[in-house]
Amino acid sequence: MRAISRRDLLGMGIGAAAAFGIAGCSSPGSGDGADKQRVKDSVRARSRLIGDGSTADSGAQPHQPRRPERLEPGQTPPQFVVFSWDGAGEVGNGLFPRFLKLAKDHGAAMTFFLSGLYLLPESKKHLYDPPNNRRGASDIGYLTDPHIKETLKYVGEAWLDGHEVGTHFNGHFCAGSGSVKNWTPQQWQSEIDQAVDFVTKWRTHTGFTDIEPLPFDYRKELVGGRTPCLLGQQNLLPTAEKLGWRYDASSSGGQQRWPGKKSGVWDFPLQLMPFPGHDFEVLSMDYNILANQSRNSTKAPPANYPGWRQQATGAYIAGFQRAYETNRAPFFIGNHFEQWNGGIYMDAVEEALKRIADDKNRDVHLVSFRQFTDWLDAQDPEVLAKLQRLGVGERPAGGWNAYLSAA
């Protein structure tokens, strides 16, 4: 993917409990191993298998906050931060379980945009009919059987821990005539139908009998996604609206401002954030930081790694601090389970999450996109309109009490 900065806007790149109406809420996956096993046993006991048994309706998702409340007049908005992951496949590098543990340790919920193709064996690739591409084609690799099993395991654990499972669609086509940027709404419908099919029929496609079903009804769970390379949103949105999706996270080059809707769907763009040492800003995704540091090389000379790791961490912290100290706009961060440039971007996002979550007294919420959507939908539209009028790094005139009391 290409980098995006203030110099090149044409480029694209690959809490406090009061906000949710409770005095205290359980963190995702909180508790010891015995508690976690009790949750799993409880879910298993009430599960109802769906279709071929690839998925199951297990009732309400564990570790969710209660219904959010509206901001009181003059109340300071919470600072929301969403960490999200594109692809969400485990390929033996241990990154999926690493970040599940990190989230549990710090009371964070995340969004995992699962690529449907990661649950389809390569021997069955003929089942995938991508728009404007040959049958079975994909610009990302199919996973091995052991890695499909690991991905199923961790996707199931993610949901049980309270995280959201969205979609990153399937073949990740970014270039040429087959690029997703050229797909019609009807072709997006086909792509989504196939992604759902691969998730809900993995048992039929793989023949695995030693893996538990995913503990959720994916057709109900799926309320948003992020397109490959952040392309094609314009034609995706009519389909997303028809499907009843609540948000889309495919915009690029967004600013750190309160979001609005496009075609009736909440628009959650990756955002431009300060880039330490530069007079331009960088998109809030690991690959775009890489592209600005090593010109798309994922294996640059290791001597650069310490400085680049510090710079990447600094970018995330600067983006968070700018929002937290001014307009309180939600901060959206995108990632991949990759070890580019020695894994420095995984280290950077881990350090950023730890530092953002460090002060428990601050009104900061590490949530999924779905949870943030729940909060937005509960708010007074007039209050949201006032929040949306605040610019990047703009403090409310007269302070929050005066600014929102007027609403």
Concatenating the DSSP letter of every residue in 96-131 gives: HHHHHHHHHHTT---EEEE-GGGGS-GGGGGG---T
- Classify 365 as helix, strand or coil: strand
**Which residues are within 8 A (CB) of 394 and not within 5 positions of it... i.e. 6 or more apart?**
326, 327
pLDDT at 10: 26
Assign 362 a pLDDT band (cuts: 50, 70, 90). confident
pLDDT at 27: 45
Per-residue pLDDT reduced to its tens digit, 3-41: 434 333 323 333 334 455 432 233 455 455 666 666 666
Nearest to 353 by CA among 119, 109, 22: 109
d(Cα 277, Cα 311) in Å, to the nearest integer? 8
At the topology level of CATH, where does 78-405 sit? TIM Barrel (3.20.20)
Token code pair at residue 78: 């919470």
Q: Across residues 147-164, what is the average pLDDT?
A: 98
Residue with structure tokens 């949105």? Answer: 237
d(Cα 90, Cα 149) in Å, to the nearest integer? 9
Nearest to 235 by CA among 193, 187, 298, 198: 187
| Secondary structure (DSSP) of 258-303 | ---EETTEEE---BEEE-TTSSSEEESBHHHHHHHHHTT-SS--GG
Assign 93 a pLDDT band (cuts: 50, 70, 90). very high
**Alpha-carbon distances of 47 from 124, 165, 222, rounded to whole Å:** 28, 18, 18
pLDDT at 20: 56
Q: Is the dihedral of CA 66, 81, 254, 70 positive or negative?
A: positive
Q: Across residues 114-126, what is the average pLDDT?
A: 98
d(Cα 123, Cα 142) in Å, to the nearest integer? 9
Out of 21-25, 51-55, 56-60, 367-371, pick the least confident: 21-25
Determine how many CB atoms are found less than 10 A away from the CB of residue 76. Answer: 15
d(Cα 384, Cα 259) in Å, to the nearest integer? 9
Share the mean pLDDT of the chain. Answer: 91
d(Cα 190, Cα 198) in Å, to the nearest integer? 12
Determine how many CB atoms are found less than 10 A away from the CB of residue 300. Answer: 18
d(Cα 31, Cα 53) in Å, to the nearest integer? 29
Per-residue pLDDT reduced to its tens digit, 159-215: 999 999 999 999 999 999 999 999 999 999 999 999 999 999 999 999 999 999 999
Q: Across residues 54-62, what is the average pLDDT?
A: 97
Angle at 46 between CA 155 and CA 99, to 5 degrees: 20
HSE-CB for 155 with a 13 A CA cutoff: 37
| 231 phi and psi angles, rounded to 5 deg | -115, 150
User: Is the overall model pTM greater than 0.75, yes or no?
Assistant: yes
Token code pair at residue 273: 């954030």
Paired residues of 265 in beta bridges = 262
Q: Across residues 73-92, what is the average pLDDT?
A: 97
Paired residues of 86 in beta bridges = 113, 336
Per-residue pLDDT reduced to its tens digit, 261-319: 999 999 999 999 999 999 999 999 999 999 999 998 999 999 999 999 999 999 999 99
Cβ atoms of 65 and 16 within 8 Å: the answer is no
